[in-house]
Structure 1
Amino acid sequence: MVAIGTWNLENLFRPGTAAGPRTTEAYEAKLRTLAGTIGDLAPDVLAVQEVGQPEALGDLVERLDGAWHTELAEPDSRGIRVGFVSRLRLSAPRQVSKYPDPLPAVRVDDDGDTTDRMGRPALHCTVSTGDHDVELVCCHFKSKLLSFPGGRFSPEDEDERARYAVYALGRRAAEAATVRAYATALLDGDGRRRRLVVLGDLNDDPSSATTTLLNGPPGSEFGTAGFNRPDRGDGDRLWNLAPLIEDVSRFSRVYQGRRELIDHVLVSNALVGSIGTVTTGGGIPGSVGDDPAARRDKPGSDHRPVMVVIDD
């Protein structure tokens, strides 16, 4: 049995940085809350997002019981990155960022600037559960929370809001396509045997176009008539485990008072039959708005972790 989860730690920076807590006391409260939740969840592997300095993650790991391994990807333009915290040894780390050919660069602003890379590189690592290797890909897609020129969080008018929403959606879609292409290459048509988990903050709900893009070939989703019937898509398909979360707990963030599930775990065919429980935890975070700085000194995170127990 192995417990694997994903959690956006919300701006895990040391105090004194632009995005970190203003005081040492606020920082210590954040670390205590995060460490307490991780201790309660008892993951074997936890994919993490919004890690600032590697030293800040080290501060968190020091507060966890036992020995842990960590790996981190390179940061984005504001200094946050994805990574893993694991009781199991992490091997063969590899970053994923470049859009796959022939996917073109996407526009990011009114000036016509473009990008051909994920804003935050995804990170691929391998763990061994004893009997099997499991491939893990952690990602954090472009946020739905919009930012505007000059560091503004409010648009000058509704036309600007609409344009920047399109830019953000284009980036998130390209990032999903990038991770999907990488997953397809890892599976190599052999998903019935290859154990792959793609997980992280996808910044959209289970039915969105960008999230479902990761599924691969359509059909056989949970709750469909074809779920228990093998088909030729099983070698490349990924299954989102969201439907296995109890209805009342099927959310990982509260935005403007609305509960959303934007953190996800998807698995290959080889793991679908071994899924035990799928849960969210960490209590109910306060509702967030469009200003990420509003929670700067709050303890814990504005996301709930998503945990999966695999009876493997």
Structure 2
Amino acid sequence: MQIHKKERLAALGIIICTLLWGAGFPALKAVEELPAFLIIAVRFILAAGFLSAVFYRRFRLINRTVVKNAFILSFLIFIMYVFATVGIRYTTSSKASFFSCLGFVIIPFLNWLLYKQKLSKITVISVLMCLTGIFLLSYSSDMGLNFALGDIICIGCSLSGSLQIVFLDRMTKDERNDPTLLSVLMMILIAIYGTAAVFFTGAWQVRPAGFDWGVLIFIGVCCTAIAYLLQAVGQKYVPSTRVGIMCALEPASGAIFSAIFLGDHLGWFGWSGGAVIIASLIFMEAMTARKAAKEKEEQHAS
């Protein structure tokens, strides 16, 4: 299979991943009465069990490098969930949504700071479009210009999520890291962290009802196991900067799914924000494809 075809399929996989994460918003709303750490523990226990059962033969590929990287990535993902859970308690919902979804802005600068990657014009325009879209999507009368403690904590959520994407980009390029095995180990480790948090906070005393279990299974298998697997495999072929912009689809799809399934009111600002985010993704992919075709023509000409 040609490299550009693999890249297109990988990009599609990451887009599906972000749509699954978006679908997790209304699903989480349906079980919001359950303790946050209980939800985290159960979703990752289910994800770990599902992926381990499907890909158990991958465990023969285990090595020190993949275990070390799984520890790093799993810690960043778990911290991201903790920041998101705690941050929203100290700020408004709209501001939490905005500041928790700034990864697409942070990732290009992390790549520049850590790996000296230049910011392309396509990236800058796409990031600005995404920033506008997220602001419109999150906008409400209580947005304000003042920073609350929760806003800073939610930025920590964006930063840890961005670091996970940037590091995963490098790790999947290393042949010692099998992306599927890396995903399985990440799920297992986060399940362990989550279970420890459940016992530490006393959340284990809560018993989910039958409906809750149905929702948790959907979150664990689809929004966690399959989504993170698609991300890990996809990032082997798609640069982290593009992945960050694709991930801006998560809050957009989450808002749209919430409007469809929960009857949430988006309003013109919300729908406009979602449209701008989708437009930024189309712009980035179209311009990237155009740039690749131009480079190919120049290579043939020379």
Q: TM-score range by the shorter chain?
A: under 0.3
Compare the two structures and name the one with the higher strand fraction: 1
Larger RCO: 1 or 2 (CA < 8 Å, sep 6+): 2
Kindly indicate which of the two structures has a greater share of residues assigned to helix.
2
**What TM-score, normalized by structure 1, do the two folds share?**
0.27
TM-score (norm. length: structure 2): 0.27
